[in-house]
Amino acid sequence: MLRYLLPIAACLLSLGCSAQNAKSTTPHNELYYQRATLFNQLPVDTCDIVFLGDSQTHGCEWHELFGMP
């Protein structure tokens, strides 16, 4: 029984790996496109502040920390 189970498991794993690689047809992930759409719709002001960083910078509520509405 184990002799049949191992090849079947290997086939299923290889199918899963190829399916994950196949769906990556865009150069960026979904979050990138969501944020780009949001930033394209927001107005730009000369008083705006830009933060560059990683997911920790993205996850912070900066308007709350600086007391902005």
Distance of alpha carbon 44 from alpha carbon 25, whole angstroms: 31
Whole-structure pTM value: 0.46
Can you read off the two tokens belonging to residue 7?
């090849």
Distance of alpha carbon 12 from alpha carbon 6, whole angstroms: 10
Q: Evaluate if residue 2 carries a pLDDT over 70.
A: no
Q: Evaluate if residue 68 carries a pLDDT over 70.
A: yes
Would you mind telling me the total number of residues written for the chain in this entry? 69
Q: Evaluate if residue 16 carries a pLDDT over 90.
A: no
Section 31-54 average pLDDT: 89
Task: Give residue 62's pLDDT.
Answer: 86
Strand intervals (E) in the chain = none
Section 2-31 average pLDDT: 66
